[in-house]
Amino acid sequence: MVIDYLIRSIRIVLIQSVLFVIESFLSTVTTSIIIISYQIIPLTTIFYHKKFTVSEREINDNTKMFIFLLILLRSIHGIYFYNFLFEKKLRNILIKLIRRVKKDSNGTTTTILSTNIQWYWKSRRDPWTSIDVNEWKPYSDDQNRIIEKAFRNNAEYVNLKEPDYIIDLKRLIQMNARDSTKQRPIKRVNLEDQSHPTN
């Protein structure tokens, strides 16, 4: 009887150990899937499809979602896991990864995060004065993204539907799509480079 009881107890312990190992394995696999789904896939989408407009706010939001799911997963398995420095470290790593320098096909270096690049068009002078006020005016955020994407893809022209303009990226001019004689100079400015004034 005693031997049977011991054997039964050993079997229960072994079964519980096996179940714990399986549960831990599934937990690790699930965690890996979460990491791949919420971090690696968005990053590869950025790198291979040239979506250069990812903001730090979007990175922060994705990181918080990842942390929340990780906490939920660990809590379900009875292990409350959270390191207050982990979120900050992960977010910083992602931001640095997005900001890393990438070589273009022409050998020049550009930053993947394009929020520091702004395109400008030259406004006409006030006919009532000889002074230029805010001569260089920035394109809107949407227009800026469209122009910058075309520039990085080595396109010669890009069409802005609203308003109806054609941007010549080789000659750096903006043309009216209905009247090509109406042209304005444009320029590309790195906002971090203070040596290029925008006015």
Residue 163 to residue 177: CA distance in whole angstroms = 9
Per the DSSP assignment, residues forming a β-bridge with 49 are none
pLDDT digits (tens, 9 = 90+) for 19-67: 777 766 666 666 556 555 555 444 444 444 444 444 455 555 555 555 5
Residue 16, pLDDT above cutoff 80: no
Helix (H) or strand (E) holding 188: strand 183-190
Residue 170 to residue 167: CA distance in whole angstroms = 9
Confidence of residue 186 (pLDDT cuts 50, 70, 90): very high
Q: What are phi and psi of 128, to 5 degrees?
A: -95, 0
Confidence of residue 169 (pLDDT cuts 50, 70, 90): very high
Which carries the bigger pLDDT value, residue 13 or residue 107? 13
Residue 53 to residue 77: CA distance in whole angstroms = 38
Which carries the bigger pLDDT value, residue 104 or residue 184? 184
32, 38, 40, 55, 94 from 44: Cα distances, Å: 16, 11, 6, 15, 12
Q: What is the pLDDT of residue 151?
A: 92
**Lowest-confidence range among 111-115, 142-146, 169-173?**
111-115
* Average pLDDT of the segment spanning 167-196: 85
Q: Residue 144 carries which DSSP code?
A: H
Angle separating helix axes 84-99 and 56-76, nearest 10 degrees: 140
Q: What is the pLDDT of residue 45?
A: 46
Residue 185, pLDDT above cutoff 70: yes
Residue 199 to residue 24: CA distance in whole angstroms = 61
Residue 109 to residue 94: CA distance in whole angstroms = 20
Domain 109-190 belongs to what topology? 3.30.720
Q: Count other Cβ atoms within 10 Å, centred on residue 46.
A: 17
Residue boundaries of the structural domains of the chain: 2-99, 109-190
Residue 62 to residue 40: CA distance in whole angstroms = 11
3-state class (DSSP) for residue 46? helix
Q: What is the pLDDT of residue 10?
A: 76
Rg (CA), the chain: 28
pLDDT digits (tens, 9 = 90+) for 65-115: 555 555 555 554 444 444 445 555 666 665 665 555 444 444 444 444 456
Residue 119, pLDDT above cutoff 80: yes
